[in-house]
Amino acid sequence: MNRIGPKPALLALLIASTLTGAVGVADPLHKYGDDGAWCHVDSGWVFPKDVGSFARVLQPYNIDGNNDAGAEYEQESATLQGAVEVDVYAADSAATDANIDGARATAALTAGEGAIVESEQPFPIDAVKGLKGVKVMYATDTKAAGGQTNLYYFTTDRWRVKVLAHAKQAGTQSDQALDAFVRALPWNTLGTNPGIH
């Protein structure tokens, strides 16, 4: 007795399920609420449309095609012209800036040629239990026309948040404005379950 009938059907089912498997991958970013915010589903982090006087540029993005996400914010007022990148990484992410050394290298490039670390100090945010933060300020060579570049880097047991901020003018006022931006971020959303998936 020759039984070849069910085997082709099983093979066709296996092929069909393999080809459609990629369609089931969830998008890590979703619109959230009616205020123009976006949510990073894995971490719960919300990228609001505005943070203080900074406005988000376009919608958030995936980093390196994985589930890490980020957004860019800008302020173009007369008192502070600046840009800020906010990136959220899983603790085990392979992305370059998902570790402090990679983030420092990126910040040094942003600060410009001849940039050196001016100071590095803890930067506490009390809204998230177990969140540890550091602020690294960069100074540029006095011969170069430089601005203010600050790296803020935060870790929890599951997440990494990199905030890379650059103001066109260096000084106390710019530094305080960048600090205020970081403190105004929605830290209470990190590590939450937004209930989207």
Specify the CATH number for the domain of residue 153: 3.40.1000
**Structure tokens of 144?**
């170069």
Residue 126 exposed, middle or buried by CB count within 10 Å (0-12, 13-18, 19+)? exposed
Instruction: Please give the Cα distance from 160 to 97 (Å, whole number).
Output: 9
Beta strands in the chain (DSSP E): 29-32, 37-40, 46-47, 50-51, 54-62, 69-76, 81-90, 116-122, 132-139, 148-155, 159-167
Please check whether residue 148 lies inside any domain of the structure.
Answer: yes
Please check whether residue 84 lies inside any domain of the structure.
Answer: yes
Please check whether residue 17 lies inside any domain of the structure.
Answer: no
The pLDDT score that the predictor gives to residue 147 is 82
The pLDDT score that the predictor gives to residue 11 is 44
Give the Cα-Cα-Cα angle 170, 174, 178 (nearest 5 degrees). 125
Q: Cα 85 to chain center, whole Å?
A: 7
Please check whether residue 140 lies inside any domain of the structure.
Answer: yes
Please check whether residue 22 lies inside any domain of the structure.
Answer: no
Provide the residue range defining the domain that includes 174. 27-189
Pairing of strands 148-155, 159-167: antiparallel
If you average pLDDT over residues 162-189, what whole number do you get?
91
Please check whether residue 4 lies inside any domain of the structure.
Answer: no
- Per-residue pLDDT tens digits for 61-112: 988 878 899 999 999 876 678 899 999 999 999 999 999 999 999 999 988 8
User: Residue 8 is which amino acid?
Assistant: P
Please check whether residue 2 lies inside any domain of the structure.
Answer: no
Is this structure's pTM higher than 0.85?
A: no
The domain total for the chain is: 1
